[in-house]
Amino acid sequence: MNNGRVTIPTDKNFVDGTKKYVRLWGADAVRDCDGTQLPENARSLAGKVYKTYFLARGNNEWAYAHDECLQNAALMSDRVLAVSERLSVDPLAHYSTEQLALNEESVSLWQVYDRTAGQEIGSWRYDEKSKRVEVENAVPMHEYTVNFFAKILWDATQIYNYKTNGWTIAKDRDIDPVYPEAFALMERDLKAWLEENKDVTVVRFTTFFYHFFNIYDDKDRVKYFDWFGYPMSASPAMFRLFKEKYGYDIALEDIVDEGYYNNHFRVPRKAFLDYMELLESFVAKCVRHFTDIVHAYKKEAMMFIGDNWIGAEIYGKHFAEMGLDAVVGSINSGATLRMVSDVAGVNYREVRLLPYFFPDTLREDGQCTKELQDSWVTERRALLRRPVERIGFGGYLRLADKFPAFTRAVAALCDEFRSVLAKIAGQKPYSHVKAAILNAWGKKRTWMTHMVLQDACYQHTTFYLGLLESLSGMAADVEFVSFDDALRGGLAGYDVVINAGDADTAFCGGNAWLDPALCEAVRAYVHAGGGFIGIGEPTAAPAGGSFFRLADVLGVDEERSLSMSRYKYNRDVCRSHFITEESGGGFDCNGGVQNVYALDGALVLGKKTEQRLGVDIGAFHVKLAANVFGKGRAVYMAGYKHGARNARLLLRALLWAAGKEDTLRRAFSDNEGTECNYYPESGLYALVNNTDSRADTTFYDIEGNSRKVSLRPYELKWVQT
């Protein structure tokens, strides 16, 4: 198959060029982009025509006339110090008043908190004239905050484009489907649009209703940015639905969360989980209404993963109810590819590849060609585990046209992509092990743990995003399991359970580990023969004399200045171990958590660091350790960094923890710069060279028979045995 599965951008001023690349790249779909318009007869260019559609924004005439139907945000004011018993707070201080206005009709829902005492207080009133909250009976030297609703005056994504590109068009206002008039308008507008856009075959929803949490400050700078955040979905009307559904009141504090806004690093609490469920079911119901209309027009409905996607959780239990045909996401890694490709409940999944065809990304033919290829081999690892059905590009096609090596490389990439799909043909690849990533969120945050913006990296999260990246392309089945799942027997059937995260986060688990039942469940699983891998501060929650609650399972604990009087003698490094066999005894854990020491019986792996924990009461920082617990095994890593060497070490750690060391050299490529995937149904092996230089390797088939293979730079070679 030399064409299909590829979407390219087009423009009404580049029709002949579009035809050229439809042919050269085998594209079967064209799309509009920010700053381009579809040609008149787009259908003549390709079988599929995508067009972006906004449900919640676009009809500014109506939105500006219906203030009462605008979307809201649940926000917290600055922290203000009381210096006397009277205190005056401007809730919107340091917020962008271009983006936000106080929702003065909602004052009865506002809250004032004494953050020093940790209490809500009642002695306050809102002064409409000054637009300030006046607090009485304040305690001097306590800090106070106001929780309030603000109306959103400007679509958050548009603010970015507008400010960046110096736009002067009208500012889009987002309307809220929770109000029947707004919902009815959305329906009318969509139908009209569908009538107008006969040529369009795929309605690319960008996205549905509620924007991720993205608030600006009074200096036109981003104030909060949380790609997963829900505060911009909340409203007095949604709170009323909450009461109707659950029988209890939700408060602004349940969303505001001391100013942490329930970002997904926070251990989620019941009211917020109920709120998410409410929102997801509400969004699903609304979206279904619109996808039914799209289908009535014989078009497909595609969801863009991003922007106003809040509530449309792609791994939530209401996702399939939305009746979508497809999802499309912008990706920049193996983990983000898997985030799209593992989505269930749609007919096909598409990813937008890098680089975008923009002037700042396509500068020089060699540079952009290299960038394309490097991104591709990164993402190809994940693709070979679980492919998306389609790929695409964005930006200005006329710009790409200036770079001949680049456009040739795109053509080769598209061919390789199609060949992968053809070869795999829906087969499940062979896995050495089946692994569960255990945290507070489980399935809902599949391939999304530790992300702030897709896989944008925060220093704290590099270990864990690196872990996801390595796993995304590894010959291992990876699933995401919640603590609740674990408590209901959900660990059965996994070879290895992974708990990775910083203390006090939802991904480590924080106080979830104070539940003895969770400790029991995981200990019982390992004790009976399961594998466990902890990264960072796994199972951390100080209680009962240890910091890691499963220190006994892991064979390590973290010194938190409270047990320095306990001597630590387990300091000898085991220099010969299955896990470190190919790394020369080393492990680059990217710094890693400090002050971790080994308990008696554990094996300290990796080279010794020079930094000692003390003069007499000494122990060095453990970076990597292995421990036997009952019939099971555990591995601890103080940190992690994605790379060929560590990915191999991680695979070995998974195998060791699972007690499956003997399967390493089955469906395996020896050179660490290469990898092998095996498709049992067809008997095909995909050997990939992930490096930009020639790689000689020893290939082992599933029976363990080996032979030498040589791979060109970046090569994907199919081997049939």
Of residues 118, 166, 247, 426, which one binds its own copies by CB under 8 A?
A: 118
Q: Closest distance between its own copies and the C-beta of residue 567, in Å? A: 5
Site size toward its own copies (CB under 8 A) is 78
**Do β-strands 222-226 and 213-216 pair in parallel, antiparallel, or remain unpaired?**
antiparallel
Structure token digits, residue 381: 């690892």
By the 8 A CB rule, do 388 and 426 touch? no
Nearer to its own copies, 187 or 258 (CB): 258
Q: Taking every pair of C-alpha atoms in the chain, what is the biggest distance, in angstroms? A: 82
Which residue among 595, 663, 698, 706 contacts its own copies (CB under 8 A)?
595
Identified binder of its own copies from the candidate list 184, 320, 456, 492, rule CB under 8 A: 456
How many residues would you count in the chain?
A: 721
Cβ partners under 8 Å of residue 187, min gap 6: 289, 290, 293
Q: Restricting to residues 317-376, which ones interact with its own copies according to CB under 8 A?
A: none
Choose the catalytic residue: 32, 176, 226, 307: 307
Q: Tell me the C-alpha distance between 426 and 475, whole Å.
A: 16
Q: How far is CA 654 from CA 205, 634, 663, 665, 680, in A?
A: 40, 9, 11, 14, 21
Q: Which is nearer to its own copies, 412 or 457 (CB)?
A: 457
Whole-angstrom distance between the N-terminal and C-terminal Cα of the chain?
Answer: 23
Task: State the Cα–Cα distance between residues 52 and 73, nearest whole angstrom.
Answer: 25
Q: Which stretch binds its own copies (CB under 8 A): 190-198, 308-316, 338-346, 453-461?
A: 453-461
Q: Out of 115, 245, 398, 607, which residue is the one contacting its own copies (CB under 8 A)?
A: 115
Residue in 83, 170, 192, 422 binding its own copies, rule: CB under 8 A = 83
Q: Cβ distance 359 to 381 under 8 Å?
A: no
Q: In whole angstroms, what is the distance from residue 152 CA to residue 679 CA? A: 51
Pinpoint the alpha helices (H) of 213-309. 236-246, 252-256, 270-296
Does the footprint of its own copies cover residue 630 (CB under 8 A)?
yes
Pairwise CA distance, residues 216 & 234, whole Å = 17
Locus of tokens 């994907």: 716
The mark string for 264-303 relative to its own copies (x by CB under 8 A, - otherwise) is -xx-------------------------------------
Q: CA-based angle 624:518:265, to the nearest 5?
A: 70
Q: Write out the binding residues for its own copies, residues 508-537 only, by CB under 8 A.
A: 514, 516, 519-520, 523-524, 527
Q: 631, 529 in Cβ contact below 8 A?
A: yes
Does 117 bind its own copies (CB under 8 A)? Our answer is: yes
* Shortest distance (Å) from residue 604 CB to its own copies: 17
**4 contacts its own copies (rule: CB under 8 A):** no
631 interacts with its own copies by CB under 8 A: no
State in angstroms the smallest separation of the CB of 594 from its own copies.
Answer: 8
Q: How far apart are CA 130 and CA 120, in angstroms?
A: 23
User: Which lies closer to its own copies via its Cβ, residue 342 or residue 469?
Assistant: 469
Q: Counting contacts by CB under 8 A, is residue 307 touching its own copies? A: no
Asked if residue 243 binds its own copies (CB under 8 A), the reply is: no
Any idea what DSSP says for residue 514? G
Encoded tokens for 402:
């200036």
Backbone dihedral angles phi then psi of residue 679, each to the nearest 5 degrees: -115, 95
CA 479 to the chain's CA centroid:
14
- E-strand stretches of 48-171: 48-53, 72-76, 80-81, 87-89, 100-102, 111-114, 119-121, 124-127, 132-135, 143-152
SS3 label, residue 107? helix
Nearer of residues 405 and 613 to its own copies, judged by Cβ? 613
Give whichever of 90 and 143 is closer to its own copies, judged by the CB atom. Answer: 143
* In the complex, least distance from residue 625 CB atom to its own copies, rounded to whole angstroms: 18
Binding window for its own copies (CB under 8 A); candidates: 39-47, 170-178, 352-360, 542-550: 542-550
**In terms of CB distance, is 61 or 610 closer to its own copies?**
610
Determine, following the binding rule CB under 8 A, whether residue 260 of this chain makes contact with its own copies. yes
Task: Look up residue 339 and give its two tokens.
Answer: 């985030």
Binding mask 194-223 for its own copies (x = CB under 8 A): -------------------x---x---xxx
Looking only at residues 458 through 477 of this chain, which bind its own copies when binding is defined by CB under 8 A? 458-461
Q: Is 217 a catalytic residue?
A: no
Nearer to its own copies, 222 or 320 (CB): 222
Confirm or reject binding of residue 601 to its own copies (CB under 8 A).
Answer: no
Whichever of 21 and 261 has its CB closer to its own copies, that residue is 261
Site for its own copies in 18-47 (CB under 8 A): none
Q: Specify the residue for token string 């690319």.
A: 204
Question: Does 487 participate in binding its own copies (rule CB under 8 A)?
Answer: no
In the range 141-180, which residues lie near its own copies by CB under 8 A? 141-143, 145
Listed in sequence order, the residues at least 6 apart from 248 whose beta carbon sits closer than 8 Å to its beta carbon are none
Shorter beta-carbon distance to its own copies: residue 81 or 170: 81
Alpha-carbon torsion 678, 684, 690, 693, what sign?
A: positive
54 in contact with its own copies (CB under 8 A):
no
Region binding its own copies by CB under 8 A among candidate stretches 307-315, 330-338, 474-482, 609-617: 609-617
Strand partners, 357: 395
| Residue 502 touching its own copies (CB under 8 A) | yes
Hey, which residues between 680 and 719 contact its own copies (CB under 8 A)? none
Q: Applying CB under 8 A, does 84 fall inside the site for its own copies?
A: no
- For the annotated catalytic residues, the residue numbers are 307
